[in-house]
Amino acid sequence: ITVVTWNVGTAMPPNDVTSLLHLNTGETNDVDVIAIGLQEVNSKINKRLKDALFTDQWSELFMDVLSPFHFVLISTVRMQGVILLVFAKYYHLPFLQDIQTDCTRTGLGGYWGNKGGVSVRLSIFGHMVCFLNCHLPAHLEKAEQRKEDFATILHMQQFEGRAASGILDHDLVFWFGDLNFRIESLDIRFVKYAIDSNILSQLWEKDQLNIAKSTWPVLSGFQEGPLNFPPTFKFDVGTNKYDSSAKKRKPAWTDRILWKIKSPGVGLGAGGRRPSRGVLSVSQLCYCSHMEYTISDHKPVAAIFAVQFASKADKPPVEIYVADEWSRPEQAVVRYKMSAGFHRSSWDWIGLYRVGFRHPKDYVSYVWARSDDGERCLDKQLSVSGLQVMFSEEALPKGKGEYILGYYSNTSSSIAGVTEPFQISLPRSEEGSSPTDSSGSSSEEEDDSTLVLLAPKSRSPSPGKMKRHRSRSPSLAKFQGLILRPSSRDRGTSRSPSPQSRRGLPGDIPTIHLPQEELGRRAAKAKEPGQAADSQEGSSFYQTVREQGGPRRVPADNSLARADPRNLGLLPALRLEMIDQAMGRRRESTDQGYPCRRMSPTSPPGCSTSPKEGSSP
């Protein structure tokens, strides 16, 4: 497990972070999980608005760098400028379950999120592990405030389930971040002399955190490796020189990484037995700073741990069986079976990923997983008794490449089963690249942002709004008199992993036919960008449905239209419209007796139906 902490000081990401993540060494081959904690990411109002709709540039950078090494982003949480990202090798994903996040604000008495802590907890092969990234109060004299804030974070953060409800209930806790502990008593000239002379041990006993570990009960059991690297704060930006401003801040080890193993007497279950059995040991292989990064007044710190424990999960929740190669569309058959304790959902789906995918929603195409009453199969050659689904020819990528199948569980918001890489070799279309194949080239031409990823409880494979955490983080200001509606402009350049961007052709987007009176109103706005009537036929809504004989339109009330899972996706392009005008038309439609349907699981809950019912646009 690699843990990184960095106060980036609102700076833009650097061009290269391979040395920070130790990707240029042989250690990367043995690393299974990487946790990255950032502090002071730019959170001004313009950046907050963009990051609310798109992935921030720091997350983009780490996904781009780590995906070629087969790391997948499994969870992320942000509280203003404090971000935590957790990556894992793709083949470990089925054994990383019960993933939850939380955050606690401590700035301005608990009302502001510039200070506080964010956490990601998960079960790794049956052992509960928690990553906690904190940004605590600054300045030498605020040691007691740092102690109180850390105790508040431990008390406030609670998780669902009985396995580990609090942070310290986990089998293993990694605590890191800009903890802001300083060096007491010693004069700044002596501190700099000790650094230049490489006699850092003379500074350790005056370090506030070292003192607190032996005196504060809240830190009992936390361990840290030796501080054999120079203090990581405060530097002149762009240099390796300590603060030369008028303030002349004393150098300090503000950026730290600690860990704690749950003691045998904590969290005893019924009968006095620990709910987490087995011996767990941690050894630190590396603890260092990276002086080569000069974009901030802090230097990043990284640590590599070897964690040993007995595996409690021998088989994944879902086992997937697939042929070694798909050279014909009829070979695109997926067989799978679920373990006895797996909680299946009707919103589960199976995604087709390119080798090197970035996150669970970064698929090429997908197919809904069948219910228990769906088609069953018995493959005597593989001795597999379970369910099977098939990808349509239109959903398959053209050309040659290596791919992976993953079963996404909506209940756990994680991938519950993956395959080994296999080949897809399908001939390319003579007319040009296929809709699904356009995703490979589009990523090179677009901007550097994608839609918010990994939305917990998003029932659709397309990205949804990020889960609201249980903190009181300030929400984005609501624009009075405005509502959001999908725009009709081209979405071909979106980097969203939703089906609209992956397929990206107008024939795959539901066609909407407007009534004559609506066309009259739109004609006056013909000069406005992104507004055009697709057709003047009829006065009801239609949708494109793909069949063997070609695409055809059917009414949205038809069950065939409702069955299209792409109706549940979110369109990345939005248009702002005055709410009075929109509500006026909604009242007119209600008076005329039009049925009220919920568009998707993320639509406003004014009128909802079951997942199997109306999902027309």
Tens digits of per-residue pLDDT, 295-306? 999 999 999 999
Under the banding of pLDDT at 50, 70 and 90, the label for residue 112 is confident
Under the banding of pLDDT at 50, 70 and 90, the label for residue 388 is very high
Shared domain check, 365 and 287: no
Under the banding of pLDDT at 50, 70 and 90, the label for residue 584 is low
CATH number at 339 reads 2.60.40.2840
pLDDT score at 108: 84
Q: Residue 353 is part of which domain span?
A: 318-372+385-426
240 lies in some domain: yes
Shared domain check, 336 and 304: no
| 95 DSSP 8-state letter | G
Position with higher pLDDT, 5 vs 53: 5
Under the banding of pLDDT at 50, 70 and 90, the label for residue 139 is very high
Shared domain check, 403 and 260: no
**Under a CB-based contact definition with an 8 Å cutoff, are residues 10 and 81 in contact?**
yes
- List 221's β-bridge partners, or say none: none
- List 260's β-bridge partners, or say none: 173
CATH number at 18 reads 3.60.10.10
252 lies in some domain: yes
Residue 367: is its pLDDT beyond 70? yes
pLDDT score at 385: 58
Shared domain check, 344 and 297: no
Q: Residue 37: which H helix or E strand, with range?
A: strand 33-39
Can you state the percent helix, strand and coil of the chain, rounding each to 5?
A: 20, 30, 50
Mean of the pLDDT values across residues 144-169?
A: 95
Under the banding of pLDDT at 50, 70 and 90, the label for residue 114 is confident
Looking at residue 114, its amino acid is N
Shared domain check, 200 and 59: yes
512 lies in some domain: no
Shared domain check, 327 and 183: no
212 lies in some domain: yes
Shared domain check, 341 and 286: no
Q: How far apart are CA 8 and CA 29, in angstroms?
A: 27
Residue 181: is its pLDDT beyond 50? yes
Shared domain check, 217 and 198: yes
pLDDT score at 478: 39
pLDDT score at 313: 83
pTM listed for this prediction? 0.71
Under the banding of pLDDT at 50, 70 and 90, the label for residue 225 is very high
pLDDT score at 370: 76
Helix (H, G, I), strand (E, B) or coil at 567: helix
221 lies in some domain: yes
Shared domain check, 358 and 245: no
Mean of the pLDDT values across residues 264-293?
A: 72
Looking at the 3D structure of the chain, how many domains does it have?
2
Mean pLDDT, the chain, as a whole number? 76
Mean of the pLDDT values across residues 213-229?
A: 96
Q: How far apart are CA 503 and CA 496, in angstroms?
A: 11
What Rg, from alpha-carbon coordinates, does the chain have? 27
Q: How far apart are CA 509 and CA 504, in angstroms?
A: 8
393 lies in some domain: yes
pLDDT score at 231: 98
Q: Residue written as tokens 């005893």?
A: 268
Residue percentage of the chain with pLDDT more than 70: 63
Shared domain check, 346 and 327: yes
Identify the burial level of 382 via C-beta atoms within 10 angstroms of its C-beta, where 0-12 means exposed, 13-18 middle and 19 or more buried: exposed
Shared domain check, 150 and 116: yes
pLDDT score at 279: 82
Shared domain check, 297 and 343: no
pLDDT score at 267: 47
503 lies in some domain: no
Q: Is the Cα torsion angle 509, 604, 614, 52 positive or negative in sign?
A: positive
Tens digits of per-residue pLDDT, 531-573? 433 433 433 334 444 444 444 444 444 444 444 444 444 444 4
616 lies in some domain: no
499: its two tokens: 């089906």
Tens digits of per-residue pLDDT, 14-59? 999 999 999 877 655 689 999 999 999 998 777 767 766 778 899 9
Residue 464: is its pLDDT beyond 50? no
pLDDT score at 372: 57
Tens digits of per-residue pLDDT, 53-94? 778 899 999 999 999 999 999 999 999 999 999 999 999 999
Under the banding of pLDDT at 50, 70 and 90, the label for residue 453 is very low
